[in-house]
């Protein structure tokens, strides 16, 4: 297990050996992965008394549009459509698909998450399809954001809405 742990860091870890005399036992891990997250132990057997320190490494995903990286299952840009509208409101629908199942959120131009209906989920040809509807009552630019955290993938589509009844 320990050897395997070392192999996962091959070519990604550097150690500041010349800083040890200053008490700096730092290492630098590059190209971190979510799998690197965990609790690590650092032993100093030559200190009197010997000491062991523990540190927790948390690698959060950097969510960005990764459709150009050809990641299997990554959700393409969501499909937005207007289902109904009046001079007071619009009913918008967003659909996205992927593996793993994307989560969908509606956001306004201030990046506030909007209260939407419960997502409708279906399976077709081995993919999860998610549909979410929202009713909006003010003029704004709205975005539907599809997120797949395990792929560090996030992609969005936008639609402008103009409410005629606003003064």
Q: Which of the residues in the chain have pLDDT under 50? A: 1-4
**E-strand spans in the chain?**
13-15, 27-29, 38-44, 51-57, 79-85, 90-98, 103-107, 120-124, 127-136, 140-148, 153-161
What is the structure's pLDDT at 123? 93
Residue 39 has what pLDDT?
A: 87
DSSP annotation of 97 reads: E
Which tokens in the block code for residue 89? 């409101």
pLDDT value for 92: 98
């Amino acid at each position: 297990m320990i050897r395997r742990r070392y192999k996962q860091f091959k070519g990604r870890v550097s150690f500041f050996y010349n800083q040890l005399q200053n008490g700096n036992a730092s290492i630098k891990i590059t190209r971190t992965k979510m799998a690197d997250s965990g609790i690590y132990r650092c032993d100093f057997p030559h200190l009197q008394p010997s000491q062991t320190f523990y540190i927790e490494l948390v690698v959060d995903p950097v969510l960005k549009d990764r459709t150009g990286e050809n990641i299997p299952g990554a959700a393409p840009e969501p499909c937005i459509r207007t289902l109904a509208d009046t001079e007071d409101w619009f009913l918008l629908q967003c659909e996205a698909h992927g593996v793993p199942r994307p989560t969908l959120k509606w956001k306004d131009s201030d990046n506030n998450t909007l209260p939407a209906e419960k997502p409708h989920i279906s399976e077709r040809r081995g993919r999860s399809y998610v549909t979410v509807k929202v009713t909006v009552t003010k003029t704004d630019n709205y975005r539907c954001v599809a997120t797949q955290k395990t792929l560090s993938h996030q992609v969005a589509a936008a639609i402008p809405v103009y409410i005629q009844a606003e003064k």
